[in-house]
Amino acid sequence: MHLRFLQRIVTGLSLLLILLSACDPIQSKTSLTASQEQTIVDLVEKKLISASITGVSMDAIALHVTSISSEPLEILIPAGTYFLAENPSVQNMVARHAANASLDPGAILDIKVEAACASLHLAAPGPADTFAMVRASELPEMGKVIDQLNTTLVDYPVEQAAVWIVTDDASYDELGMLVGGSPFGQPLILEEDAVRAMMLVEQAGVDIRKYSIWRDRYALLIEVTEPDLVTWLGEELGAEDSSAPAGGFQATAQPTAAGSGKEISQFAYQAFGSSELSATDWSAMQATGAPNTTDCGDLPTAWSSEHSMPGATLKLFYEQAVIPTRIVIYESYNPGAIFMVEVLGFSGAPAVYQGDPKVIAECPYQMIIDIMDVKEPTAAITLTLDQENEAWNQIDAVELIGVLP
């Protein structure tokens, strides 16, 4: 009797242990982990899935995922996941936004991820291009910018501009490489897109001033109209430290009327014409830098509009904002067609010269404009020409002289 009683006790304890084992919190936790959301990189590393990655377009990438797990899986592709092109001539890509998917045991799934390109001067990715995958870019700025992009609602061109600014130090001209429809389509990243991208980069805690696009700030300022962008860029320009000369200008020896500032002389670093004879010779960029056209004539080292018609304009931009005191325009062919000169300030673009066009025999010719009544800084000048009664007027350089504010 005692033996049977002991056997019953042992059997009961065994059953109890089995029941307790089934309710073991450690085993439950293991089962839960298998179905919890995990990043795609973690799942690949744990050999729970395999993934092949191919390009789609400049704004998306495709993942072909196969489950090799006996458990259902929840997949997370975090924003900032970085995709390395296996072809070194193709751009890398970065996930702009997170993507989620559920995967049953043994199932196959295709996931399309919104992405941006991250190697501006390389080829656009396509369906034939394959990629490896890592958790994030090695650039710490990239993670900050991606996080900021996911706290705001902006269009793809703004997101792509922000990424190229931090990965490729892209200027505004370089951002224009993103076009729509075909390689010969219109640029997708416009001035307001670029400024919004600059603002988002700065809001992400990344100093926008260290990037090349900051040199384009005055060129962009005159094109933007959205109030928040005008306010932000105006405040950033107003906060600039102008106490030390930069490389694009030289300090003059003369004392200044303002007393506290130093008078400097500088030539434009960037220029845009309403038209130009070509993208190289006679282009607007020929009017940047110090004068280099020593003779009078139709020479390719100066800017010329495409047609000798009234209303042609040349916009020039300078490294340093100054309170202007003098402008010197170096005309190298058919001088005298300039009838208006404006300077860009925070409150507008006042004309500092207006006059009738006239034929000037002296050539090359320096048109000198002394400025007395402009009291706010400028770093941009617009020239307007009337060439109706003359052949092409050509401009070699435009010198801006002024006092540092």
Cis peptide upstream of residue 300 (ω within 30 degrees of 0):
no
Cis peptide upstream of residue 364 (ω within 30 degrees of 0):
yes
Same domain? 157 vs 230: yes
Tally the domains of the chain: 3
Is residue 214 assigned to a domain? Answer: yes
Is residue 120 assigned to a domain? Answer: yes
Tokens (6 digits) for 368: 């000198």
Structural domain ending residue among the three candidates 213, 240, 267: 240
Same domain? 231 vs 258: no
Give 390's strand partners: none
Domain residues for the domain of 85 are 34-138
Same domain? 272 vs 383: yes
Same domain? 369 vs 381: yes
pLDDT computed for residue 270 by the predictor: 86
DSSP letter string over 153-193? Answer: ---HHHHHHHHHHHHH---HHHHTT-BSSSTTS-BSS-HHH
Hey, how many other C-beta atoms are within 10 angstroms of the C-beta on 250? 11
CB 249 within 8 A of CB 266: yes
Same domain? 119 vs 253: no
Is residue 221 assigned to a domain? Answer: yes
Same domain? 253 vs 365: yes
Same domain? 186 vs 72: no
Is residue 4 assigned to a domain? Answer: no
Same domain? 218 vs 253: no
Identify the helix (H) or strand (E) that includes residue 231: helix 227-238
Tokens (6 digits) for 246: 């930069």
Same domain? 107 vs 154: no
Is residue 9 assigned to a domain? Answer: no
Tokens (6 digits) for 57: 């377009």
pTM equals 0.69
pLDDT computed for residue 103 by the predictor: 95
| Closest to 135 in 3D by CA, of 91, 90, 78 | 78
Same domain? 266 vs 392: yes
Give 134's strand partners: 82
Is residue 28 assigned to a domain? Answer: no
Task: Give the number of C-alpha atoms closer than 13 A to the C-alpha of residue 303, restricted to the C-beta side.
Answer: 30
pLDDT tens, residue order, the chain (405 aa) = 454 544 555 455 554 444 444 444 333 333 334 456 799 999 999 999 999 999 999 999 999 999 999 999 999 999 999 999 999 999 999 999 999 999 999 999 999 999 999 999 999 999 999 999 999 999 999 999 999 999 998 999 999 999 999 999 999 989 987 766 555 567 889 999 999 999 999 999 999 999 999 988 888 887 888 999 988 988 887 776 443 334 333 433 333 344 457 899 999 988 888 888 888 898 899 999 999 999 999 999 999 888 766 788 899 999 888 999 999 999 999 898 899 999 987 666 788 899 888 888 899 999 999 999 888 888 889 999 987 766 678 999 999 999 988
Is residue 19 assigned to a domain? Answer: no
CB 178 within 8 A of CB 58: yes
Structural domain ending residue among the three candidates 216, 240, 264: 240
Tokens (6 digits) for 71: 């458990």
Structural domain ending residue among the three candidates 192, 209, 240: 240
Same domain? 397 vs 260: yes
> Checking phi first, is residue 47 left (phi over 0); if not, alpha (psi -120 to 50) or beta?
left
Tokens (6 digits) for 387: 């060439």
Same domain? 128 vs 146: no
Is residue 312 assigned to a domain? Answer: yes
The CATH number for 378's domain is 2.60.120.260
